[in-house]
């Protein structure tokens, strides 16, 4: 077993963090990139979202209570911390990420189709509950 001083000298990579997640404390969650697979669309156009996983206490709260769809949607919005390749299909323009420590901009998130919101909620829960 490694001693505390030996562990301090090691580099805690994102890969190691992901493997430790669910087996250790996570007070702030870990950021994951989540690409949305879209059949028949070239990969460079697939939107990709940065999701901050739920904390251990948030997971505990989710398991202890029944929430409405709107509450799950709001939880998901608050855990979106960035994105790439989100395209406004009516204009062809890329949508810039707008957000802060409270998640992505609510007005933009409210424009997401329900299928995308459900996909992101499912991914967030899957990534957060190991």
Whether the CB-CB separation of 47 and 84 falls below 8 Å is answered with yes
Exposure of 105 by Cβ count < 10 A (0-12 exposed, 13-18 middle, 19+ buried)? Answer: middle
pLDDT in the model for residue 2 = 55
Angle between helices 69-78 and 114-128 (to 10 degrees): 70
pLDDT in the model for residue 130 = 55
pLDDT in the model for residue 128 = 84
51 three-class SS: strand
Q: Which residues of the chain have pLDDT under 50?
A: 1
pLDDT in the model for residue 127 = 85
37 three-class SS: coil
pLDDT in the model for residue 4 = 56
Kindly list the domain boundaries of the chain, sorted by start residue: 31-128
What is the distance between the alpha carbons of residues 128 and 130, in angstroms, rounded to a whole number?
A: 6
What is the distance between the alpha carbons of residues 102 and 74, in angstroms, rounded to a whole number?
A: 10
pLDDT in the model for residue 37 = 92
Whether the CB-CB separation of 83 and 57 falls below 8 Å is answered with no
pLDDT in the model for residue 3 = 57
pLDDT in the model for residue 31 = 84
Please list the residues that pair with 51 across neighbouring strands: 32, 80
């Amino acid at each position: 077993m490694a001693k505390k001083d030996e562990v301090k000298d090691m580099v805690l990579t994102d890969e190691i963090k992901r493997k430790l997640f669910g087996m250790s404390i996570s007070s702030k969650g870990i950021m994951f990139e989540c690409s949305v697979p879209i059949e028949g669309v070239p990969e460079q156009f697939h939107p990709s979202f940065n999701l901050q996983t739920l904390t251990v206490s948030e997971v505990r709260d989710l398991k202890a209570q029944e929430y409405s769809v709107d509450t799950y949607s709001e939880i998901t919005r608050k855990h979106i911390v960035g994105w790439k390749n989100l395209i406004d299909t009516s204009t062809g323009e890329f949508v810039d990420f707008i957000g802060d420590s409270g998640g992505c901009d609510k007005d933009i998130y409210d424009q997401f189709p329900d299928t995308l919101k459900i996909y992101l909620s499912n991914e967030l829960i899957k990534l957060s509950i190991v």
